[in-house]
Structure 1
């Protein structure tokens, strides 16, 4: 797909863990559907053996006023895609494009602006990540420290635990976890919040319970088995979010930060000579 479609499928995928068994049946139908058809409440309820009331509750849990509004948005964004059965390279590139389109859908510009402001405001910034998410945390540190941010990446489970005592009301803690289920990251965010630090989670899992741990939840795009690195690197959608946040952070007080960036890059070039 060459254009950025405001599909609601990424929304359904992010909310998936909050659905009841009946709502999961409904979500699966809309996520995996490839054909334009009659999406009336009567037809869908008959097809899925669920009640119209279940469809209404499902739509409201997804943030819509009712099933009619949900279907309107679904049909607006629905594109009949041609299945790719050709070369592996094309399949991989199509998956990357799909992730980019979903990232466009999920990105909340106002939220990114708030977080960019938080990076400026807080004296200490810690970025937590384990495994593939740890790679993103280290990349975050390298990129943002070039713009003068006092940031440290913490990618060891034991150090994340110990680091909790260093957090306070002047601290911002950002946790990366694709699944939203990495206990050491969640425990680190919980401990930081208990010590009055501001907390942000960057994840694909819009589990309502996670909102209790964080002041901000930034959703990333996913495809099936992304967390285990099946074909597509799990870091990719997280790095997309980092890049968007980086551009906003750089844009605030651009001249000063651009000068810092040039100085750090010059320093690196000098050392390599």
Structure 2
């Protein structure tokens, strides 16, 4: 398989917002193309329904003297990356790809939709975790808070014990624990179940003992059995699942939620300027 090294494509991407609509059309072609071919100005202009002058202006905006120089560099940057990639880079990227493949195999879209229904029917959402799972919990709070969800992340042991007292049937409790054995998280979920709250555990271990107090056990891949899993952040599988939940949730009312997200960013900018 042919790959391009980063320089030319990153150059295009970094200048993308400076392009005219016609130039963005040209940029999109070069960004997404992954095949060697005939890039002669006349043929490409016909293929993209643009003028040769547009190709020249595009190349100049990318920092080249003209289209000929640009396309020379572009063609030079087609390399068989496997020949030059280091062993460490190869192992890490292969492990990430394996994690993504495992995530795809584990995904249950109907289950994700049920969890989204819990979001919609709950007055308050709590997400908790320790260590790397706590970082994922913090990220989840920031993401969902920006689109109008009343959500808190809890990563402190004492806070989990105290906040568990205030669970109600109108709450959604999400626990993050790759091992499925984090005592504080499991206690938080147990107490929520007693108060009739909806409970979701996101974990890599489908343990029978948690089924008594979890409405949903959402599975993510484990790093344990991967050849190079010891160098991968344990937060990664959880972050992928958070992104999936976020995507499904936003998609239900995309215009409104994108507006809310934009409003929060604007509010942050206003506060920063003050």
TM-score by length of 2: 0.66
* Conservation of the 8 A alpha-carbon contact between 2:223 and 2:230: no
Structure 2 partner of 1:209: 209
Mapped to 1, the partners of 2:88 and 2:268 lie a distance apart of 38
Report matched runs for 1:220-231 at 5 Å: 220-224=220-224, 230-231=230-231
Distance 1:141 1:86, change over 3 A: same
Structure 2 partner of 1:127: 127
Structure 1 partner of 2:59: none
Mapped to 2, the partners of 1:200 and 1:224 lie a distance apart of 22
Structure 2 partner of 1:36: none
Distance 1:269 1:95, change over 3 A: same
Report matched runs for 1:31-46 at 5 Å: none
Structure 2 partner of 1:268: 268
Q: CA deviation at 1:154?
A: 0.7
Structure having greater relative contact order (Cα 8 Å, sep ≥ 6): 1
Structure 2 partner of 1:109: 109
Deviations 1:70-129 (A, max 9, x none): xxxxxxxxxxxxxxx961111011100000000000010011111111111100100011
3-state SS of 1:212 partner: coil
Mapped to 1, the partners of 2:144 and 2:230 lie a distance apart of 29
Structure 2 partner of 1:4: none
Mapped to 2, the partners of 1:144 and 1:244 lie a distance apart of 12
* Conservation of the 8 A alpha-carbon contact between 2:175 and 2:185: yes
Flag the structure with larger Rg.
2
Mapped to 2, the partners of 1:100 and 1:267 lie a distance apart of 35
Give the gaps of 5 or more residues in structure 2.
1-84
Mapped to 2, the partners of 1:200 and 1:98 lie a distance apart of 25
Residue 190 of structure 1 pairs with residue 190 of structure 2: yes
Deviations 1:215-237 (A, max 9, x none): 001000112278xx820000000
Mapped to 2, the partners of 1:148 and 1:86 lie a distance apart of 44
Residue 161 of structure 1 pairs with residue 161 of structure 2: yes
3-state SS of 2:231 partner: coil
Structure 1 partner of 2:33: none
* Conservation of the 8 A alpha-carbon contact between 2:223 and 2:234: no
* Conservation of the 8 A alpha-carbon contact between 1:186 and 1:213: no
What is the total number of aligned residue pairs between the two structures?
188
Mapped to 2, the partners of 1:86 and 1:262 lie a distance apart of 41
3-state SS of 2:169 partner: coil
Q: CA deviation at 1:187?
A: 0.9
Structure 2 partner of 1:51: none
Mapped to 2, the partners of 1:106 and 1:239 lie a distance apart of 15
Structure 1 partner of 2:253: 253
3-state SS of 2:201 partner: strand
Mapped to 1, the partners of 2:96 and 2:169 lie a distance apart of 38
TM-score by length of 1: 0.66
